[in-house]
Chains A and B, each alone.
Chain A
Amino acid sequence: MTGIDLSTAAVGRTIGGGMRRVFGRRTPAVDRFAFACVVLLLLLAVAGPFVTPFSPYEVDPAGALLAPGGGHLLGTDDAGRDVFSRILAGAGTTLLAAVGIVVLSMVVGVLVASVAALLPRWADEAIMRVCDIFMSIPSLVLALGLAAAIGPSLPSIIIAMVAASWPGTARLVRGILRETMGGSYVEAAQVLGVSRLRLMLRHVLPNSMDAVYVQASMEISGTIVMMSGLAFLGVGAPPPSPDWGSLVAQGQQFITSAWWVALFPGVAITISAIAFGLVGDAVRGFVDPASRSTR
């Protein structure tokens, strides 16, 4: 009657096991491809600035607006800078900032939701209604206003995006916590004299994090798009630093004569958003197998 050590349950807890699970046979080909894309994108985000074939900043008026092919794989922009190099250099800003925004938003959201869950009912309600008020303002408008007010820079865009997204996260996490708190092991611990704070920290939060991770992985792709949107509208990192949204914005004025300047950064945004979105779906599939049948 003693339990068997389920060694299969340990697969996925080590990096090797995780890799086998992610790239194993049972993962659909689309997901494997998306995981590979995300790994590649994240590598580029870190290493991008160091592997650019040309300097992303050096101006060369003689080679302005060259078409793709030839010496420049994706052509050059109006100042003669290599578009491919600028995309590589911008990968870090765009992708790492998107991941950072989501992580920060989750941290704030989980904190607010846990505090709300511990407070008396009226305070919980009050906090959640404040979140509702924030959520009723379109997040792009809110982030745009905030970023413009702080001044265009990467930190300000991150602050603005986190400020615009945490209320939604807090609402969602509050729901997840509520569900976990209804679990009978939480009540079982409560009847043994465990305090509310300890219940939250040891029993409720650890059992809610799976759902939080899923939500986080799903939000990265939307964040990439929204961040690029903000940069496109001019509140992104200031000009020489090339994040993807600003690259599209720069190329936009030559869209009829030199389409490559705006198109390729846009393609980079699209590929990233789709890859991260698919990975988010796949993560949900791993954590909650019941959701798999829906696609």
Chain B
Amino acid sequence: MTEPVLSIQNLGVRVPERARLGGGAGDLTVVEGLTLEICPGERVALVGESGSGKSVTARAILQLNRSLVYDGSIRWEGEELLGAGERTMRRVRGSEISMIFQDPMTALNPVLTVGQQVAEPLIVRGVPRREALRRAAGMLDRLGVPKAKERLKAYPGQFSGGMRQRVVMAAALIAEPRLLIADEPTTALDVRVQEQVLDLIESMSREMSLSVLFITHDLAIVAGLAHRVAVMYRGRLVEDSPVDELFAHPRHAYTRGLIGSIPRLDADPDTRLRTVEDFMAMEGPSV
């Protein structure tokens, strides 16, 4: 098997007492003992309910929240990122690891043109403006933005939600990173646009041999996109399996609950839909 590009070993994340919202005594553990590896070109889905620690894990990789306490190790191509300085992180962010967020409506600066924003990761790395804008147009074109060259001068407000997510992706991919972290990138989009964005992520991942860490709570998305699925529950990784195996033989009670709670078209309309808790109660607590 190939060397993983990203290797998270035994990651722990705690909110220190002084930073806890609403008080509460002692540090709050939000992620504990998480181990996860991603190989080149591999698409890994990180699923779990709200508050299970998915986003905190993703943000730990890019060291976005400096007020949290981390332990364990996050290695990017052998280099330790936990506790790395701003200078190192600035090099890594954008050109080695990129991230896109949930809501494309707020992820773009309203006062800068689309071209300026897509080209920015190149410009901050010293690529001449004209060259950066030319490549920005090329990237927008690859991501299916029509008349990309003219649209460089447009403002984000003139784009629809789906188009904005393409712009966000163009900015994230323009510096040719090797890992894209996508934090629920389709949650704010309608189903048809969701599908387009997912297809784009998959095709870009193939074309650029880009690894993807896809964070979601929607198992339906996972099935078509990911090679591997990691399930988080209450700050711990409870399952890490290839996608087919996960759906065929879910190992953990929580995963079985997640899969079982997906509403089925062929179900009897008179029976109540079942929740994850129903499944977990049936099997007893086993975290």
- Neighbouring A residues of B91 by C-beta, 8 Å: 193
A194 touches B124 (CB 8 A): yes
- Neighbouring B residues of A195 by C-beta, 8 Å: 90, 124
Within 8 A of B (CB), among A1-54: 1-6, 9
Question: Does A190 lie at the interface of the complex (its beta carbon under 8 Å from any beta carbon of B)?
Answer: yes
Distance A2 CA – B158 CA, assembled complex (angstroms) = 8
A1 touches B162 (CB 8 A): yes
Looking at B76-84, B98-106, B252-260, the stretch in contact with chain A turns out to be B98-106
Question: Does A198 lie at the interface of the complex (its beta carbon under 8 Å from any beta carbon of B)?
Answer: yes
Nearest B residue to A198, CB-CB: B124
A184 touches B158 (CB 8 A): no
- Neighbouring A residues of B86 by C-beta, 8 Å: 196
A3 touches B101 (CB 8 A): no
Distance A1 CA – B164 CA, assembled complex (angstroms) = 11
Distance A71 CA – B259 CA, assembled complex (angstroms) = 94
Question: Does A187 lie at the interface of the complex (its beta carbon under 8 Å from any beta carbon of B)?
Answer: yes
Nearest B residue to A4, CB-CB: B158
- Neighbouring B residues of A2 by C-beta, 8 Å: 146-147, 151, 163
Residue among A3, A6, A195, A196 with most chain B CB within 10 A:
A3
- Neighbouring B residues of A3 by C-beta, 8 Å: 154, 157-160, 163
Nearest B residue to A203, CB-CB: B109
- Neighbouring B residues of A254 by C-beta, 8 Å: none
Question: Which of A6, A183, A191, A206 meets B106, CB within 8 Å?
Answer: A183
Question: Does A133 lie at the interface of the complex (its beta carbon under 8 Å from any beta carbon of B)?
Answer: no
Nearest A residue to B177, CB-CB: A192
Distance A156 CA – B79 CA, assembled complex (angstroms) = 58
Looking at B23-31, B167-175, B213-221, B238-246, the stretch in contact with chain A turns out to be B167-175
Nearest A residue to B86, CB-CB: A196
Within 8 A of B (CB), among A165-204: 183-196, 198, 202-203
Total count of chain B residues near the partner, CB < 8 A:
40
Distance A9 CA – B111 CA, assembled complex (angstroms) = 13
For B99-133 the 0/1 string (1 means CB < 8 A from A) is: 11101001111111000010011001100000000
B163 touches A192 (CB 8 A): no
Minimum CB–CB distance for B63 against chain A, Å: 10
Question: Does B35 lie at the interface of the complex (its beta carbon under 8 Å from any beta carbon of A)?
Answer: no
- Neighbouring B residues of A193 by C-beta, 8 Å: 90-95, 121, 124-125, 175
Asked, given contacts A185-B106, A202-B112, A207-B111, whether A190 binds B93 with beta carbons under 8 Å apart, the answer is: yes
B106 touches A184 (CB 8 A): yes
Distance A194 CA – B93 CA, assembled complex (angstroms) = 8
Nearest A residue to B117, CB-CB: A189
Question: Which of B124, B154, B168 meets A188, CB within 8 Å?
Answer: B168
Distance A273 CA – B129 CA, assembled complex (angstroms) = 48
A206 touches B120 (CB 8 A): no
Question: Which of A185, A191, A198 meets B108, CB within 8 Å?
Answer: A185
Distance A206 CA – B155 CA, assembled complex (angstroms) = 14
Minimum CB–CB distance for A262 against chain B, Å: 48
Distance A261 CA – B90 CA, assembled complex (angstroms) = 66
Distance A188 CA – B102 CA, assembled complex (angstroms) = 11
- Neighbouring A residues of B175 by C-beta, 8 Å: 192-193
B160 touches A192 (CB 8 A): no
Distance A187 CA – B168 CA, assembled complex (angstroms) = 12
Distance A183 CA – B168 CA, assembled complex (angstroms) = 15
- Neighbouring B residues of A183 by C-beta, 8 Å: 106
Nearest B residue to A205, CB-CB: B111
- Neighbouring A residues of B151 by C-beta, 8 Å: 2
Nearest A residue to B145, CB-CB: A2
Known: A3-B163, A185-B106. 8 other contacts (CB 8 A): A184-B103, A187-B64, A192-B172, A193-B92, A193-B95, A194-B124, A202-B112, A207-B111
B residues apposed to A, CB below 8 Å? 62, 64, 86, 90-95, 98-101, 103, 106-112, 117, 120-121, 124-125, 146-147, 151, 154, 157-160, 162-163, 168, 171-172, 175
A residues apposed to B, CB below 8 Å? 1-6, 9, 183-196, 198, 202-203, 206-207
